Amino acid sequence: MADALRVGIAGLGTVGASLVRIIQTRANELAVTCGRPIEIAAVTARDRTRDRGIDISAVTWFDSAEELAANAEIDVFVELMGGAEGAAADSVRAALRRGLHVVTANKALLAASGVELARIAEENGALLNFEAAVAGGIPVIKALRESLTGNTISRVYGIMNGTCNYILTRMEKEGLSFADCLKEAQRLGYAEADPAFDIEGNDTAHKLAILTTLAFGTQIAPDEIYLEGITNISIDDIHAAADLGYRIKLLGVAQRTETGIEQRVHPTMVPRDSVIAQVDGVTNAVAIESDILGELLMVGPGAGGNATASSVLGDIADIAKSRPGAQQVPVLGTPAASLAPYKRAQMQSHEGGYFIRLTVADRTGVFASIAARMAENAISLESIVQRSKPDSSVMSKTIILVTHATMENSVRKAVDAIKAESYLVGEPQVIRIERPKDM
Ligand SMILES: NC(=O)c1ccc[n+]([C@@H]2O[C@H](COP(=O)([O-])OP(=O)(O)OC[C@H]3O[C@@H](n4cnc5c(N)ncnc54)[C@H](OP(=O)(O)O)[C@@H]3O)[C@@H](O)[C@H]2O)c1
């Protein structure tokens, strides 16, 4: 049997500790599958004394990730610390510069510096694998980077944040408010103490930026993403969506358009009968639409120690099986030097269906005025529903409009015109509708 692949692991938290446990308990199977043993040669974390429920007594301990990355005794540097800068970025750069293969689960680092790191890896003959960085255990990176080569991809979209999907699912299933569901998610450990990064959509944006690059062969552009979180989704929206045959999901969508690439993260209404609408709780899903294959939908665990470690282990196994000197898969699917500049399609030009919920004073003429504002902006309506709703101070009613495919710009203008009218009570709610191909 060939020599062992010696792995150095930086970060022994949720993912790192799971990875150590799996490699240790499956040593024999891994050696057979990979054709060589996988050996944990060295580790590092911040606190050496912490009990992690794993046995690392026979493994060399390093006091810093940089020292571990510089160690000549390892063949692969596995970064599981997290963070776009600092120890994670410095150690990954250093490892790649000396031609050491790297595996990471760090979406923040890849979104911020992925192209630079890919270039360093390719210049130094190192592999940089990051399957766990997007949608945890779902092998979407490999699908885009390798399996779909030759396909022209038109759209990639998905549910990539378990916290948001858990909250939206609970709101719908139990009729609870956003705030109550967030508290419950925090109690169960699905949401961080500071949940802003998840619920404002930033986490999904990091993952989307990586998928966009792999799908469209362009530079990573995390700052060119239209971003809207789920904090202002109310139970009224969820109920209205259900009445109209939709469910609300936080989607990340990247789409090729005539004017460039559209990248957006926002609450989205998806048809209740679509497969993606059935993806509940902390589960993730990624859909890829391409010309040769058609539509591919992958659903699975998007986070958690074991699911994430499963992807990290797959990346390590790929390195164990790779042949020295063989042609390598480009880190981002296309060689870093050949990635096209990113050209952003403006959000104002986005075309799609819209759900608009207005609370208005219960007066005559309001309905006609709203219809007129829509017509002035050439918005064609698929449905218009009104419901009476007694309010504490005024008699108000809710009007829900669903548009046929229309331009974002037209919707914004129509909503601004309605906002200028005296009958509007509170802020209008606008939610984009996304349909899977052929729905
Ligand atoms: N958890 C998930 O479900 C999941 C899913 C997909 C991707 N990821 C990604 O996987 C990575 C790890 O996530 P995690 O959830 O395992 O994080 P975690 O539980 O917070 O663990 C982080 C680990 O890194 C160590 N660490 C932090 N800063 C360090 C430094 N400067 N030097 C050395 N060690 C340092 C910590 O040491 P101490 O233990 O001593 O504090 C800890 O062991 C992140 O990039 C994350 O985005 C996680």
Q: What is the pLDDT of residues 134-166, one digit of tens each?
A: 999 999 999 999 999 999 999 999 999 999 999
Token pair recorded at residue 289? 């639409």
Q: What is the mean pLDDT of residues 101-129?
A: 98
State if residue 105 touches ligand 1 by the CB under 6 angstroms criterion: yes
pLDDT the model gives residue 1: 79
- The pLDDT > 90 percentage for the chain reads 92
Asked whether residue 190 carries a pLDDT value surpassing 90, the answer given is: no
Q: Contact 205/220 with Cβ under 8 angstroms?
A: no
pLDDT the model gives residue 194: 87
pLDDT the model gives residue 79: 98
Q: What is the mean pLDDT of residues 167-182?
A: 95
State if residue 88 touches ligand 1 by the CB under 6 angstroms criterion: no
Asked whether residue 390 carries a pLDDT value surpassing 70, the answer given is: no
Q: What is the largest CA-CA distance in the chain?
A: 84
Q: How confident is the model at residue 395 (pLDDT cuts 50, 70, 90)?
A: confident
Q: What is the mean pLDDT of residues 105-134?
A: 98
Give distance in angstroms: CA of 219 to centre of ligand 1.
Answer: 26
State if residue 265 touches ligand 1 by the CB under 6 angstroms criterion: no
pLDDT the model gives residue 189: 85
Q: What is the pLDDT of residues 218-239, one digit of tens each?
A: 999 999 999 999 999 999 999 9
Asked whether residue 388 carries a pLDDT value surpassing 80, the answer given is: no
Q: What is the mean pLDDT of residues 423-434?
A: 96
Asked whether residue 34 carries a pLDDT value surpassing 70, the answer given is: yes
pLDDT the model gives residue 191: 85
pLDDT the model gives residue 431: 98
Q: What is the mean pLDDT of residues 289-312?
A: 96
Q: What is the mean pLDDT of residues 326-331?
A: 91
Q: What is the mean pLDDT of residues 419-434?
A: 96
Asked whether residue 32 carries a pLDDT value surpassing 80, the answer given is: yes
Mutate to test the pocket of ligand 1, among 9, 46, 52 (most ligand atoms within 8 A of CB): 46
pLDDT the model gives residue 327: 86
Looking at every residue in the chain, the average pLDDT score rounds to 95
| Cβ-Cβ contacts under 8 Å for 187 (sequence gap 6 or more) | none
Token pair recorded at residue 147? 């399996």
pLDDT the model gives residue 324: 83
CA 288/CA 231 separation, integer angstroms: 27
Q: What is the pLDDT of residues 60-79, one digit of tens each?
A: 999 999 999 999 999 999 99
State if residue 82 touches ligand 1 by the CB under 6 angstroms criterion: yes
Asked whether residue 391 carries a pLDDT value surpassing 80, the answer given is: no
Determine whether 419 is an active site residue: no
Reference 102, options 84, 115, 86, 120; nearest CA is 120
| Cβ-Cβ contacts under 8 Å for 424 (sequence gap 6 or more) | 358, 359, 360, 361, 418
Indicate which atom in ligand 1 lies nearest the CA of residue 12: 43
Asked whether residue 389 carries a pLDDT value surpassing 90, the answer given is: no
pLDDT the model gives residue 47: 97
Asked whether residue 427 carries a pLDDT value surpassing 90, the answer given is: yes
Q: What is the pLDDT of residues 240-272, one digit of tens each?
A: 999 999 999 999 999 999 999 999 999 999 999
Asked whether residue 103 carries a pLDDT value surpassing 90, the answer given is: yes
Phi and psi (nearest 5°) for 194?
Answer: -105, 100
- To 5 degrees, how large is the angle CA 123–CA 126–CA 127? 125
